[in-house]
Structure 1
Amino acid sequence: MDQITILWADDEIDLFKPQLMFLNKKGYEVITVTNGHDALEEIGENNNIDVVFLDESMPGLTGLETLSRIKDIKPGIPVVMITKNEAEDVMEEAIGSQITDYLIKPVNPMQILLTMKKIVDEKRLVSEKNNSDYQREFRQLLMQINSGLNKEEWVDVYKKIINWELKLDESQGDEMSEILAMQKREANAEFSKYIERNYLDWVDGKDAPVMSHNLMREKIFPHLSTERPTVMVLLDNMRYDQWKVIEPLLSELYRVEEEDYFYSILPTATQYSRNAIFAGMMPSEIARHYKDWWKNDTDEGGKNNHEADLLGTQIERILRRGDIKWDYTKVTRTNFARQMQDRALDFLNNDFSVIVYNFIDMLSHARTEMEVLKELAGDEKAYRSLTRSWFENSPLWATLRKLAERDVQLIVTTDHGTIRVNTPSRVVGDRDTSTNLRYKLGRNLNYEERDVLEVRDPQKAKLPRPNISSTFIFAKEDKFFLYPNNYNYYNNYYRDTFQHGGISLEEIVCPVIRLVSR
């Protein structure tokens, strides 16, 4: 590493000779000045200065005035304020002016060394620690993945994998990230086997986790109250890792009361999972009880046009109370989002307000079709970053900031997640076969059996059966279905895109988080 150069400005610099000698022995070069004017001159002329130590109470140009001018010249340079003054307003002004750290006189050499380590070596030290910590946990995770996990343990393993992804994102641990990606693929292979063994039993109610069709009954309705408005935000296509990158923003204004989960039903697609959430029923039950509100894959028209109707019937059926005032809002376009932001406080007039926000789903589809978005969201880390950037600047976040000023309960959840697909799997079907890349519904399907969970009798999975010979197949792991026609073209087009509808931890394990305003 090149030698680090420190500029130290203090009118009593002679009193710091022991500290200066200590820094020189540790390999740092220290340039000293006794006033703010000389500090600014040095900053302007010397491009090799890496860090500035700045006395707060210098005569003439004060430390805070010098700090402001330094930031005008070199906004990104780290500045450490050294002060005798512990007054809160001084500290707030210094921190507001973007100091990197501050030290209270008298300062000892080890304090200064620790500050330098934090400034110069923090990323390297964090990266090294994260890499070594993950290396230690790698074997333990490997054993867990192959130990016959139950539904709760799979959620725990998935959360651990995501937490490691986020840590390695921060520390730029590329080599460890590749190993972790391999471990996630292995986890998905085992999880697919687990779903294949258990899913049909769950549908029959045998030792089942909370799933889409009983999410409202089990995780939402018990927390409704006429004393405090509840706003439920359903972000279509949101994965657990995407929740974790927007959580820090929400946590500034809301306190997380409970971070929970549910399992999306199959197919992990909006038409099935979200209708099941709002109806409180499995898809075959919706099709039977509300024929006019259900459309099969090949039917014309929107497949989720009656969510508000389904929600209303579930509220009446489950809560059996006439005093719950509720509302439903779906945001699919920017102008709808602006309208929602303008009337944010109207949600406070309801006991229960549901907001369905479709941006993440649109992002995943747009990334498939637009080369510029493929570059902007080239991998999982970039996809997460783009999600956070959108949320931070969205009308939705503006709406939630307004609501946080009042006493509200906020529930954030999704209908299903999405997985980045990389492995094509050939399938052949007739012209009426559904078009989704992660599941197929059709007659006379031919496919690679090892790549799919097949449900020859949709009724066993409580799915509609458009024809007597209709079969569902669900892609496992990171597979995506391709027809033999133009195989290479579509392989190149869809490989490395985010898709949903099949079986993976990312698609099935869904977050449901309950928060209250601070």
Structure 2
Amino acid sequence: MSNINILWVDDEIDILKPHILFLEKKGYTVSTCNNGADAIDMCDENNYDIIFLDENMPGLSGLETLVKIKSKRPNIPVVMITKSEEEYIMDDAIGNKIADYLIKPVNPHQILLSLKKNLDHSRLISEKTTSNYQQEFRKIAMDLAMVNSYSEWIDIYKKLVYWELELENISDSGMIEILESQKQEANTLFFKFIKKNYADWIYNDDHEPILSNTLFKNVILPEVKKSKGTLLVIIDNLRYDQFYILEQTITKYYKKEEEISYFSILPTATQYARNAIFSGLMPLEMEQKHPNYWKNDTDEGGKNLHEEDFLRAQLNRLRENLKLAYYKITNLKSGKQLADNFNSIKENDLTVIVYNFVDMLSHAKTEMEVIKELASDDKAYRSLSNSWFKNSPLLEIIQKAQNLGLKLIITTDHGTINTKTPSKVIGDKNISSNLRYKTGRSLSYEDKEVFAVKNPKEIGLPSISINSSFIFAKEDLFFAYPNNFNHFVKYYKNTYQHGGISLEEMIIPCAIFVPK
């Protein structure tokens, strides 16, 4: 990309400085001028790979400049940019073989999209997929500029996931780069949205989205009560893109009846989010009502050892008398044992299975070089998850559930994000260890890079000590200590983490299936 030379011609070129800096940051070389005559002279003296040409300029117009440039350099792609949508201008420009046509105001991502489309000749791309994404790209960009509710954020994220899965089938890294850029922009805006609105969701039953602590009561329990038997599968650490890949196999046996998107509570970590699902409580309430079950970050012992106890306590509180079985699968052996004996659960009202493979996969990517190779990016991570699922006892269990006529509910506790950018943090020796959130006293951090909560009670979280606070990382950041910083960053960069604020971690699926 560093060899790509661009000429940008516009009589208001100074206004376009941010666009030019954006392209230079991406590795392009950009030359500029503010009139057609200079543009023609510059084309005589230099070999440009592409020209962005303003149509409406004093002196030589864009169309006149285009004709003169094409007479000398017929093969150079020219992208016409204009405020006017008059048909004759478009006809003239197209007749003179422009490469692309953009209507002002343009944003940097549109320019990048046009560059990829015109200069990346090596790609083998489905014309329909490209065309559809180009149309959707502008709509998503407009939606991002106006999004103002949690339901709109769900819609935007699911669109981005859809296009991520569509584009992975084409060998065009340029298109993926465009999408990644749009996802980054979305996560930047989503962080601001969560920072502004999250605290209001916690204690406002009327307007909040479905959260971890309300999922069972509001979504799962009504489905259980209207069925003869239900299998609830919670796959730890499952993102929306992974869910859609797994769903392709599930729908061979089950028909999807409904899909609900809900929000993981903060921190988007198992001990908080999954315990909230089972207890129907926020972590602060768990600590108050069930001190014998709840453990804070710095407490000794396992943090997820009482999920069945939390669930039974919630059912008692709701005065529901269900015949319940609970299983946690953390290895192949226990998965096979449950699959072999699955018919024994057919009399249950509700059978709950917590399946931990995807979480183990994300941790293994951090710790094992071979997994780092196999799951080097999101596409490979999805592929590895799919390969596991197709050969797992869980699929056999789902097949047996279909044969028993059980309703199937599949959900997760939180998602995960590939962390790429370190953020320095300092705290006392009792600071929590998670890389996407920290809790403790005397935390020192970069204000702009975190959502800081001085009073954890405001968002339903317990305090591990007096004056302890929480901070949550934004976008793809991960916390690193100044001591041994470079070694730490090298070890954890490009690993899958959770606990912070991103679309991938917070917006997650709960899907209801009926047997085919």
> What is the deviation of 1:138?
1.0
Q: Does 1:213 align with 2:213?
A: yes
Aligned length: 393
For the Cα contact (< 8 Å) 2:324–2:350, is it kept in 1?
A: yes
Q: How does 1:296-375 map to 2 (within 5 A)?
A: 296-318=296-318, 320-322=319-321, 324-375=322-373
Match status 1:452 vs 2:458 = no
Residue 410 of structure 2 is aligned to residue 419 of structure 1 = no
Alignment of 1:82-231 (within 5 A): 127-205=126-204, 207-225=207-225, 227-231=227-231
Deviation per residue, 1:54-75 (Å, 9 max, x gap): xxxxxxxxxxxxxxxxxxxxxx
* 1:173 Cα deviation from its structure 2 partner: 2.8
> SS of 1:266's equivalent?
coil
Question: Match of 2:426?
Answer: 428
The unaligned stretches of length 5 or more in structure 1 are: 1-123
| Alignment match, 1:410 | 408
Structure 1 residue aligned with 2:276:
276
**Higher mean C-alpha deviation, range 354-363 or range 167-176:** 167-176
Q: Render the CA deviation track for 1:465-512: whole Å, top value 9, x for unaligned.
A: 121110100001111000001111111111111000000000000100
* Kept after mapping to 2: 8 A contact 1:127/1:168: no
- Structure 2 residue matching 1:460: 3-state secondary structure: helix
State the partner residue of 1:48.
none
Q: Which amino acid aligns with 1:303?
A: K
Partner residue of 1:388 out of 386, 389, 398: 386
**Correspondence 1:231-242 to 2 at 5 A:** 231-242=231-242
Determine the C-alpha separation between the residues in 1 that align with 2:127 and 2:176: 13
Cα distance in structure 2, aligned partners of 1:390 and 1:172: 24
Scaled by the length of structure 2, the TM-score of the pair is 0.75
- Show the counterpart of 1:510: 508
Are the equivalent residues in 2 in contact too, given 1:368–1:494 (CA < 8 A)?
yes
Deviation at 1:134, TM superposition (A): 1.0
1:142-168 CA-to-partner distances (Å, cap 9, x unmatched) read: 111121331111000000000000001
* Separation (CA, whole Å) in 2 of partners of 1:510 and 1:129: 29
Tell me if the contact between 1:231 and 1:347 (Cα under 8 Å) persists in the aligned partners. Answer: no
Structure 2 distance, partners of 1:292, 1:499, is 28
CA contact (8 A) 2:450 2:472 kept: yes
1:266 aligns with 2:266: yes
Contact 1:131/1:173 (<8 A) preserved:
no
Q: Secondary structure at the match of 1:356?
A: strand
Matched position secondary structure for 2:126: helix
Q: Which amino acid aligns with 2:334?
A: F
CA offset digits 1:93-138 (Å, max 9, x no partner)? xxxxxxxxxxxxxxxxxxxxxxxxxxxxxxx886222122111211
1:312 aligned counterpart, secondary structure: helix
Structure exhibiting the larger radius of gyration computed from Cα positions: 1
TM-score, length-scaled by structure 1 = 0.75
Residues 305-338 of structure 1 deviation map (CA, whole Å, 9 limit, x = unaligned): 00000000111212x133x211111111221111
Counterpart for residue 8 of structure 2: none
Q: Quick one: which amino acid aligns to residue 199 of structure 2?
A: L
Question: Structure 1's 178 and 125: CA in aligned 2 closer, same or farther, altered over 3 A?
Answer: closer
Moved over 6 A (4+): none
Q: Deviations over 1:350-379 (max 9, x none)?
A: 010100000000000001111111111111
Match of 2:484 in 1: 486
2:229–2:350 Cα contact (<8 Å) kept:
yes
Counterpart code for 1:166: L
Aligned to 1:111: none
| 1:495 equivalent in structure 2 | 493
Distance 1:490 1:125, change over 3 A: closer
Q: Return the alpha-carbon distance in structure 2 between the equivalents of residues 173 and 218 of structure 1.
A: 42
Deviations 1:437-477 (A, max 9, x none): 00000100000000000000011111011211101000011
> For residues 220 and 366 of structure 2, what CA distance do their matches in structure 1 show?
33
Given residue 328 of structure 2, which amino acid in structure 1 is its aligned partner?
K
Does the Cα contact within 8 Å between 1:417 and 1:500 map onto a contact in 2?
yes
Q: CA deviation at 1:226?
A: 7.0
Aligned-CA RMSD value:
1.2
Deviations 1:205-252 (A, max 9, x none): 162100000100011001113752100000000010000001110001
Contact 2:278 2:308 in 1 (8 A): yes
Partner amino acid for 2:460? Answer: K
Question: Which residue number corresponds to residue 290 of structure 1?
Answer: 290
Instruction: Structure 2 unaligned segments of length 5 or more: list them.
Output: 1-122
CA distance in 2, matches of 1:365, 1:466: 25
Aligned to 2:248: 248
SS in 2 for 1:507: helix
Q: Alpha-carbon deviations, 1:366-422, whole Å to 9, x = none?
A: 011111111111111000010100000001111111221121100000000000011
When residues 227 and 457 of structure 1 are mapped into structure 2, their CA distance, relative to the original with a 3 A threshold, is closer
The alpha carbon displacement at 1:140 in A equals 1.0
Q: Secondary structure at the match of 2:256?
A: strand
The offset of 1:435, in angstroms, is: 0.4
Letter aligned with residue 363 of structure 1: L
User: CA-to-partner distance for each residue in 1:261-290, whole Å, 9 max, x for gaps?
Assistant: 110000000010011100000000000011
Measure the CA separation in 1 of the matches of 2:226 and 2:411: 21
What is the percentage of aligned positions where both structures have the same residue? 50
Q: Describe the SS at the equivalent of 2:258.
A: strand
The structure-2 alpha-carbon separation of the partners of 1:165 and 1:227, relative to structure 1 and needing over 3 Å to count, comes to closer
Aligned 8 A contact 1:475 1:502 in 2: yes
- Kindly provide the CA deviation profile for residues 1-53 of structure 1, in whole angstroms up to 9, marking residues without a partner as x: xxxxxxxxxxxxxxxxxxxxxxxxxxxxxxxxxxxxxxxxxxxxxxxxxxxxx
How far off is 1:172 after superposition?
Answer: 2.4
Distance, in Å, in 2 between the alignment partners of 1:273 and 1:433 is 20
Shift of the alpha carbon at 1:171?
Answer: 2.0
SS of equivalent residue, structure 2 residue 252? helix
Distance in 1, matches of 2:144 and 2:163, equals 15
